[in-house]
């Protein structure tokens, strides 16, 4: 049995247009690194945190909180040290907190020879999400742990459904470097929606899930519509309309807000298109002078993985 | 080329709990018969209508109206006679009007060697639905024409997505003989829903579509939840709660209102369970003294079919 693991913790796109609060997908080439180490002393200790300015106290760090939830449910008598090497920017909308909280509990579970199911790990990681945003949501942690596309069908009881990933699907994500807090981004949403918009949304969600299973790229594109959240949240993202128009013009299947923003994602069929889409998205922010990062990534079908 | 066709027009279940206004499914052993005949005189003429008291004037009969929409779009110079042998009771909530309107246009299309696509036929048949209920909905006509489960992803443009049908799925439908008009049943719905209920609904719809594709009967059952329409419409159906409890108690995967009611459907894995479910549903209406019909049917994967 190994005593420590170095792992890759993927960035994730949540919501995915019509899948508000239920859908998420894991990325392949964007993510953090973590090292988790078994120690004899009871407790969870963040010993290294590089790349982002985040608290290292166990009860203020999402990996720490998720790890403590794991430990509380486990009969393991020792503890864990955690090293976090952040590559995902906090607050970018691609699951920075989920990467840390899932990485911690996934590696702990591996080091103890898997006492918990993946679904139980989702529950522990959700404690980290609760610290980060005030809501214990699962739409980022589920894909990080299961890989691919996941659907949170229900919270009570927690029911996570893995969805098929079409092999040629490539994501482009642009992160304009402005700050939007997840909690603020939630506050501007309305409590009520029209039944008419609801019907459109579940029609599209059904279409998207069908398109993912049948690998029908055109259907995936048609279904990437959001009449409920995008019209409100996109107001907080400068240049959103132009970026989306640019992405679609360059051949993207669809484009929307990643998580609660400000990152914007697009899906394309094939890497060549995804690169053209990235170029079109970048040009908008170059023109209006907003600093930005762009990621192009295949879909990650395995979730967190061990690094050599 | 044949001059007339005798066809079977299936009953259909629309809405299907979490799929309000978007999902539908065709039944195999419940439906009407129709004969459609080419004639040289321009126009659509209902020459026989047996089994139900319904208007025979072309512009007041759903098959007539749908047929006229077909004819208006066609360059065919002649006309059609229609004989309708209703087995589905009007107003029962299992797509009586959709069976007639789809049967008419499907057979006309066959007799003219398929000038129109199935999607175009849906549009013609929707004119019949508009006459029947005031709304040109597609959730019954789509499964009658495509067979199996169908999703109406969008109305503008009309986008119908065929969904896989698990091979062992069997429907039980009970029709308590009380009258609820589709138009009344629409009026009692609220214009707004909470975002929270919306999220539950599209989570369940995604789960149901995933369960149908992966043939995961347990997931299908868990997803057959409706927090939006069923709590309101079920008030109009005496004994609904007891029927649902009886169906689930007898082993049904899920149970809900068929279309806008008053029929109640249940899905089961296998015919044996579907029969036990039928028995449990029947007992409720026997006890409270409401006349009722019960149907047990496999899912119909082809839609309308030619009878010898």
Question: Using an 8 Å Cβ cutoff, are B114 and B60 in contact?
Answer: no
Give the C-alpha separation, A88 to A91, whole Å: 9
What is the reported pLDDT for A45? 98
For residue B277, the number of C-alpha atoms closer than 13 Å in the C-beta half-sphere is 29
Q: Which residue has the higher pLDDT, B181 or B162?
A: B162
Do A205 and A279 fall within a single domain? yes
Give the C-alpha separation, A79 to B133, whole Å: 65
Here the CATH number for the domain that contains residue B25 is: 3.30.230.10
Do A126 and A205 fall within a single domain? no
pLDDT above 90: percentage of residues in chain B: 91
* DSSP for A137-200, written as a single string: --TTHHHHHH-SEEEEEEETTEEEEEE---TTEEEEEEEES----HHHHHHTS-SEEEHHHHHH
For residue B170, the number of C-alpha atoms closer than 13 Å in the C-beta half-sphere is 20
Q: Would strands B79-85 and B43-50 be described as parallel, antiparallel, or unpaired?
A: parallel
Q: Which residue of chain B is at minimal alpha-carbon distance from A24?
A: B203
CA dist list (Å): A266 to A102, A108, A220, A251, B194? 24, 33, 12, 10, 28
What is the reported pLDDT for A186? 75
Do A206 and A159 fall within a single domain? no
Do B122 and B174 fall within a single domain? no
Q: Is residue B1 predicted with pLDDT exceeding 70?
A: no
pLDDT band at B99; cut points 50, 70, 90: very high
Mean pLDDT, to the nearest integer, of B113-120? 98
> Which of A137, A190, A209 to mutate: most B Cβ within 10 Å?
A209
Give the C-alpha separation, A167 to A40, whole Å: 43
Considering the candidates A33, A123, A129, A225, report the single residue annotated as catalytic.
A129
How do residues B175-203 score in pLDDT, each as one tens digit? 999 987 766 777 888 999 999 999 999 99
CA distance B62 to chain A (A): 25
Instruction: Select the residue of A18, A153, A210 nearest B223 (Cβ to Cβ).
Output: A153
Residue with tokens 């398109």: A211
Do B155 and B252 fall within a single domain? no
Here the CATH number for the domain that contains residue A243 is: 3.30.70.890
Do B112 and B207 fall within a single domain? no
Do A72 and A190 fall within a single domain? no
Do A231 and A134 fall within a single domain? no
Cβ contacts (< 8 Å) between B21 and chain A: which residues? 199, 203
Domains held by chain A: number? 2
- Each residue's pLDDT tens digit in chain A (308 positions)? 689 999 999 999 999 999 999 999 999 999 999 999 999 999 999 999 999 999 999 999 999 999 999 999 999 999 999 999 999 999 899 999 999 999 999 999 999 999 999 999 999 999 998 998 888 899 999 999 999 999 999 999 999 999 999 999 999 999 999 987 767 777 888 999 999 999 999 999 999 999 999 999 999 999 999 999 999 999 999 999 999 999 999 999 999 999 999 999 999 999 999 999 999 999 999 999 999 999 999 999 999 999 98
Do A143 and A240 fall within a single domain? no
Q: Is residue B264 predicted with pLDDT exceeding 70?
A: yes
What is the reported pLDDT for B219? 98
Contact yes or no for A194 and B198 at CB 8 A: no
- Other beta carbons within 10 angstroms of residue A273's beta carbon come to 20
Question: Using an 8 Å Cβ cutoff, are A216 and B168 in contact?
Answer: no
Range of the domain at A202: 169-298
- First CA to last CA distance, chain A: 15
Best CA proximity match to B278, nearest among B297, B259, B261: B297
């Amino acid at each position: 049995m190994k005593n420590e693991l170095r792992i890759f913790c993927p960035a994730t796109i949540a919501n995915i247009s019509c899948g508000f609060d239920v859908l998420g997908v894991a990325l392949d080439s964007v993510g953090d690194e973590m090292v988790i180490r078994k120690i004899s002393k009871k407790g969870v200790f963040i010993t290294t945190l590089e790349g982002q300015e985040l608290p290292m106290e166990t009860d203020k760090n999402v990996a720490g909180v998720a790890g403590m939830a794991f430990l509380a449910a486990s009969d393991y008598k020792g503890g864990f040290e955690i090293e976090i090497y952040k590559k995902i920017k906090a607050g970018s909308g691609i699951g920075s907190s989920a990467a840390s909280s899932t990485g911690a509990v996934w590696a702990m579970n591996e080091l103890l020879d898997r006492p918990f199911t993946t679904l139980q790990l989702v529950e522990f990681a959700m404690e980290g999400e609760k610290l980060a945003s005030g809501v214990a949501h699962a739409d980022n942690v589920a894909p990080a742990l299961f890989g691919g596309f996941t659907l949170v069908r229900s919270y009570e009881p927690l029911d996570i459904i893995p969805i098929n990933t079409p092999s040629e699907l490539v994501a482009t994500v642009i992160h304009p470097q402005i700050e939007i807090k997840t909690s603020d981004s939630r506050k501007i949403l309305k409590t009520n929606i029209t039944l008419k918009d609801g019907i459109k949304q579940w029609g599209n969600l059904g279409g998207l899930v069908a398109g993912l299973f049948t690998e029908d790229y055109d259907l995936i594109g048609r279904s990437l519509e959001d009449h409920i959240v995008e019209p409100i949240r996109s107001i907080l993202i400068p240049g959103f309309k132009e970026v989306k128009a640019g992405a679609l013009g360059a051949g993207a299947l669809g484009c929307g807000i990643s998580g609660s923003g400000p990152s914007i994602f697009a899906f394309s069929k094939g890497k060549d298109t995804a690169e053209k889409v990235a170029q079109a998205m970048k040009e908008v922010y170059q023109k209006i002078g907003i600093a930005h990062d762009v990621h192009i990534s295949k879909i990650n079908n395995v979730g967190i993985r061990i690094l050599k």
